[in-house]
Amino acid sequence: MAAPKKLRTMFGADDELQAFAEHWLSGPGCLSGASSLAHTDGAMVACLYRDSTFQVELCCVPPGFVIPDHVHPHADTIEVPVAGVLRLHVNGKDVYAGRCDERVQRLNRGSGIRINHTDVHGTAAPVGETGAMFLSIQKWLGCEPLSVLTDYLGRPLGEGHQEMLDAANL
Protein backbone atom coordinates (compact mmCIF):
# COMPACT_ATOMS: atom_id res chain seq x y z
CA MET A 1 0.00 0.00 0.00
CA ALA A 2 1.35 3.44 -0.94
CA ALA A 3 2.11 5.97 1.76
CA PRO A 4 -0.60 8.61 2.32
CA LYS A 5 -0.18 11.83 0.34
CA LYS A 6 1.12 14.68 2.50
CA LEU A 7 -1.63 17.25 3.22
CA ARG A 8 -0.45 20.86 3.37
CA THR A 9 -2.21 22.35 6.40
CA MET A 10 -2.19 25.99 7.52
CA PHE A 11 -1.52 26.12 11.27
CA GLY A 12 -0.87 22.37 11.07
CA ALA A 13 0.85 20.12 13.53
CA ASP A 14 2.57 16.79 12.93
CA ASP A 15 0.21 14.83 15.16
CA GLU A 16 -2.49 12.13 15.19
CA LEU A 17 -5.11 14.37 13.54
CA GLN A 18 -2.77 15.28 10.66
CA ALA A 19 -1.84 11.60 10.16
CA PHE A 20 -5.50 10.54 10.21
CA ALA A 21 -6.48 13.27 7.69
CA GLU A 22 -3.74 12.17 5.29
CA HIS A 23 -4.66 8.49 5.73
CA TRP A 24 -8.40 9.05 5.29
CA LEU A 25 -8.03 11.28 2.23
CA SER A 26 -5.78 8.77 0.47
CA GLY A 27 -7.90 5.68 1.17
CA PRO A 28 -10.17 4.15 -1.48
CA GLY A 29 -13.08 3.67 0.93
CA CYS A 30 -13.12 7.17 2.40
CA LEU A 31 -16.91 7.43 1.98
CA SER A 32 -17.73 3.97 3.29
CA GLY A 33 -18.85 5.02 6.78
CA ALA A 34 -21.44 7.67 5.94
CA SER A 35 -23.98 7.70 8.74
CA SER A 36 -26.05 10.88 9.05
CA LEU A 37 -27.24 14.09 7.45
CA ALA A 38 -28.31 17.24 9.27
CA HIS A 39 -29.35 20.62 7.93
CA THR A 40 -30.46 23.89 9.40
CA ASP A 41 -30.80 27.51 8.32
CA GLY A 42 -29.16 26.82 4.95
CA ALA A 43 -26.21 24.76 6.19
CA MET A 44 -26.01 21.02 5.53
CA VAL A 45 -23.62 18.60 7.26
CA ALA A 46 -23.21 14.94 6.26
CA CYS A 47 -21.22 12.53 8.39
CA LEU A 48 -18.99 10.55 6.01
CA TYR A 49 -16.94 8.64 8.59
CA ARG A 50 -17.04 8.11 12.33
CA ASP A 51 -15.17 5.99 14.86
CA SER A 52 -14.63 6.47 18.59
CA THR A 53 -12.15 9.34 18.15
CA PHE A 54 -12.19 10.58 14.54
CA GLN A 55 -14.96 11.84 12.33
CA VAL A 56 -15.25 13.38 8.86
CA GLU A 57 -18.17 15.61 7.92
CA LEU A 58 -18.93 17.22 4.57
CA CYS A 59 -20.24 20.74 5.19
CA CYS A 60 -22.17 22.65 2.51
CA VAL A 61 -23.31 26.27 2.64
CA PRO A 62 -25.22 28.35 0.06
CA PRO A 63 -24.11 31.57 -1.67
CA GLY A 64 -24.03 34.60 0.61
CA PHE A 65 -24.00 32.47 3.77
CA VAL A 66 -22.24 33.86 6.85
CA ILE A 67 -20.88 31.55 9.54
CA PRO A 68 -20.73 33.52 12.83
CA ASP A 69 -17.72 33.33 15.13
CA HIS A 70 -17.79 30.13 17.17
CA VAL A 71 -15.74 27.29 18.65
CA HIS A 72 -16.19 23.53 18.72
CA PRO A 73 -15.12 22.89 22.34
CA HIS A 74 -14.73 19.12 22.00
CA ALA A 75 -13.01 18.81 18.61
CA ASP A 76 -9.82 19.82 16.84
CA THR A 77 -10.39 20.01 13.09
CA ILE A 78 -8.70 20.34 9.74
CA GLU A 79 -10.98 22.06 7.24
CA VAL A 80 -10.30 20.97 3.65
CA PRO A 81 -12.04 23.02 0.94
CA VAL A 82 -13.80 20.96 -1.74
CA ALA A 83 -15.63 23.52 -3.91
CA GLY A 84 -16.50 27.21 -3.96
CA VAL A 85 -14.86 30.00 -1.99
CA LEU A 86 -15.02 30.04 1.79
CA ARG A 87 -13.01 32.86 3.35
CA LEU A 88 -12.26 31.76 6.90
CA HIS A 89 -10.92 33.78 9.74
CA VAL A 90 -9.30 32.09 12.72
CA ASN A 91 -8.74 33.93 16.01
CA GLY A 92 -9.53 37.24 14.29
CA LYS A 93 -7.15 36.68 11.36
CA ASP A 94 -8.52 36.49 7.80
CA VAL A 95 -6.36 33.64 6.50
CA TYR A 96 -6.82 34.80 2.88
CA ALA A 97 -6.59 38.58 3.40
CA GLY A 98 -5.65 40.47 0.25
CA ARG A 99 -6.22 37.53 -2.10
CA CYS A 100 -8.89 37.41 -4.83
CA ASP A 101 -11.39 34.53 -4.94
CA GLU A 102 -9.55 32.86 -7.84
CA ARG A 103 -6.30 32.88 -5.85
CA VAL A 104 -8.10 31.50 -2.77
CA GLN A 105 -9.42 28.59 -4.85
CA ARG A 106 -5.91 27.81 -6.17
CA LEU A 107 -4.43 27.99 -2.66
CA ASN A 108 -7.08 25.60 -1.36
CA ARG A 109 -6.32 22.74 -3.74
CA GLY A 110 -4.87 19.91 -1.67
CA SER A 111 -4.57 21.99 1.48
CA GLY A 112 -6.35 22.38 4.80
CA ILE A 113 -6.69 24.81 7.68
CA ARG A 114 -6.10 23.54 11.23
CA ILE A 115 -8.65 24.80 13.77
CA ASN A 116 -8.16 23.71 17.38
CA HIS A 117 -10.99 23.40 19.90
CA THR A 118 -10.13 26.80 21.44
CA ASP A 119 -9.82 28.67 18.11
CA VAL A 120 -12.60 31.17 17.40
CA HIS A 121 -13.48 30.92 13.72
CA GLY A 122 -16.14 31.78 11.15
CA THR A 123 -16.36 33.34 7.71
CA ALA A 124 -14.46 36.57 7.07
CA ALA A 125 -16.91 37.43 4.25
CA PRO A 126 -20.16 35.97 2.91
CA VAL A 127 -19.68 32.74 0.96
CA GLY A 128 -19.07 33.27 -2.77
CA GLU A 129 -21.65 33.16 -5.56
CA THR A 130 -21.54 29.36 -6.00
CA GLY A 131 -21.74 28.45 -2.31
CA ALA A 132 -19.05 26.30 -0.73
CA MET A 133 -18.30 22.76 0.40
CA PHE A 134 -15.55 21.63 2.72
CA LEU A 135 -14.53 18.52 4.62
CA SER A 136 -14.24 18.91 8.36
CA ILE A 137 -11.80 16.23 9.51
CA GLN A 138 -12.10 15.99 13.27
CA LYS A 139 -10.41 14.52 16.32
CA TRP A 140 -12.80 14.45 19.27
CA LEU A 141 -11.48 15.22 22.73
CA GLY A 142 -12.84 13.33 25.72
CA CYS A 143 -16.18 12.34 24.20
CA GLU A 144 -17.73 10.33 21.37
CA PRO A 145 -18.00 12.29 18.12
CA LEU A 146 -21.05 14.51 17.72
CA SER A 147 -21.67 16.93 14.87
CA VAL A 148 -19.97 20.28 14.43
CA LEU A 149 -23.52 21.66 14.20
CA THR A 150 -24.20 20.69 17.83
CA ASP A 151 -20.70 20.92 19.37
CA TYR A 152 -20.90 24.66 18.85
CA LEU A 153 -20.45 27.66 21.13
CA GLY A 154 -21.21 31.05 19.59
CA ARG A 155 -23.99 32.92 17.85
CA PRO A 156 -26.12 30.29 16.07
CA LEU A 157 -26.62 30.14 12.30
CA GLY A 158 -30.31 30.98 12.77
CA GLU A 159 -33.45 30.03 14.68
CA GLY A 160 -33.41 26.42 13.53
CA HIS A 161 -29.81 26.04 14.64
CA GLN A 162 -30.65 27.51 18.06
CA GLU A 163 -33.45 24.93 18.41
CA MET A 164 -30.96 22.19 17.43
CA LEU A 165 -28.49 23.44 20.06
CA ASP A 166 -31.21 23.62 22.72
CA ALA A 167 -32.30 20.04 21.92
CA ALA A 168 -28.69 18.79 22.13
CA ASN A 169 -28.44 20.44 25.57
CA LEU A 170 -24.62 20.48 25.59
pLDDT band at 127 (very low <50, low <70, confident <90, very high): confident
Output the average pLDDT for the chain.
Answer: 87
Residues 94-103, mean pLDDT to the nearest whole number: 83
What pLDDT is recorded for position 170? 63
In the three-class reduction of DSSP (H, G, I as helix; E, B as strand; rest coil), residue 105 is classed as: helix
Report the relative pairing of strands 88-90 and 153-154 from DSSP bridges.
unpaired
Q: What are phi and psi of 67, to 5 degrees?
A: -100, 115
Q: What is the pLDDT of residue 28?
A: 59
User: Where residue 149 falls among pLDDT bands split at 50, 70, 90?
Assistant: very high
- In the predicted model, what is the mean pLDDT of residues 19-41? 76
Task: Let me know: does 8 contact 78? Beta carbons within 8 Å.
Answer: no
Q: What integer pLDDT is reported at residue 29 of this predicted model?
A: 57
Residue closest to 75 by CA, chosen among 11, 157, 6, 153? 153
pLDDT-derived band at 33 (thresholds 50, 70, 90) equals low
**Ranges 9-13, 68-72, 140-144: which has the least confidence:** 9-13
Does the structure show a pLDDT above 80 at 151? yes
pLDDT of residue 96: 83
3-state secondary structure of 112: strand
In this prediction, residue 23 has a pLDDT band, given cuts at 50, 70 and 90, of confident
Ordered by where they begin, the domains of the chain are 8-168 (2.60.120.10)
Q: Provide the CB-side half-sphere exposure for 129 (13 A, CA).
A: 2
